[in-house]
Amino acid sequence: MHASFANGSGYIRMADVSNDWDIIQLSFAEPDSATSGNLHFNRCPVSECANVESDADFLAAIKAKQAAGKKVLISIGGANGQVSLTSTAARDAFVTSMSAIIDRWGLDGLDIDFEGHSIYLNNGDRDFKNPTTPVVVNLISALKTLKAKYGSKFILTMAPETLLLHGGRMFYGSGAWGGADTRNGVYLPVIHAVRDFLTIVHAQHYNSGPVAGANGTYYNAGTIDFNVALSDMMITGFPIEGNAANFFPGLRPDQVGIGLPANAQAAGSGQMSTADTQKAFDCLTKGSNCGSYRPANTYPTFRGLMTWSVNWDKFNNYEFSKAHAAYFKSLGN
């Protein structure tokens, strides 16, 4: 749920978030400045959102969702919040401020949604297993510190844009020959470093141009093949820049999800009909209803579906969550 975007979706009270959602992300914690590491979370001001609830009601609604078995996380970044941990001081401020937000609202963990130029790879940083770029190294360190503080109950999710994740298949950072976007695949060293306690990566399969799957074929957003191929490569793993000696090992199927827009207004691309979305999941979980791309295996424990956003979901009378929740219940996992 997003607090203040003035994007036409309207504000949604925590108590009104559909119970069909299992994980609710509060969007967004934003920094005082791009490199401070000091983040804050404020709900929509009354001047913009007349129906915003009080602190007491907001906290009570969070507790009610958790009592019903839901998890509530704080999401960091987004399109308007650049967070670059360029120094150890910023790293430490990040840990302190994130802990304060988690403790203030009794949250279950956090979601990393670093977009834009928050993270990148310096020239010469070529080994995803041993990154050297400060913004990457400091983020990894901060996440490990937060995990150590909160223990087994700590939930960590990530919502990378396709360039920052799957982009590592064709280029990594600036590329072996230089000149490419330094953000290519930048989430890969972060994911690799925290894979032991990472809950879900639900990549943004929207606002994206064509992306190459592990087979090197490019697929267009908003298609069954795009969603299946990009999910499959995150489970099977893939060679960085096609180099078999530099292979990114896949995640467990239960650590991988898909992010799609809740409706036509929510994103510039990637929208899927209910039928095609569920065909993509049929393909991934059962091996049926595939397009031209067939996954290496079937993944009955594939984690699920993220959307931007519950606000847009409510705007469309919960059409997205109702249809897909019923479908996932039918899978029985």
Q: How many helices (H) and strands (E) does the chain have?
A: 9, 12
Closest to 72 (Cα-Cα) out of 105, 50, 44: 105
Distance, CA of 169 to CA of 247 (rounded, Å): 10
Annotated active-site residue 115? The verdict is: yes
CB-CB contact of 171 with 163 (8 Å) = no
Determine the Cα angle at 298 with ends 297 and 302, to 5°.
Answer: 120
Structure-token pair, residue 37: 């590491």
Query: In the Cβ-directed half-sphere of 73, how many Cα atoms lie within 13 Å?
Result: 22
Taking a C-beta distance cutoff of 8 angstroms, is the pair 226, 219 a contact?
A: yes
Strand order from edge to edge, sheet including 109-114 = 39-40, 23-31, 71-78, 109-114, 155-158, 200-204, 256-261, 304-308
Set 30, 48, 53, 115: catalytic member: 115
Instruction: Give the integer Cα–Cα distance in Å for 326 and 323.
Output: 5
Residue 97 belongs to what H/E stretch? helix 88-105
Catalytic residues: 115
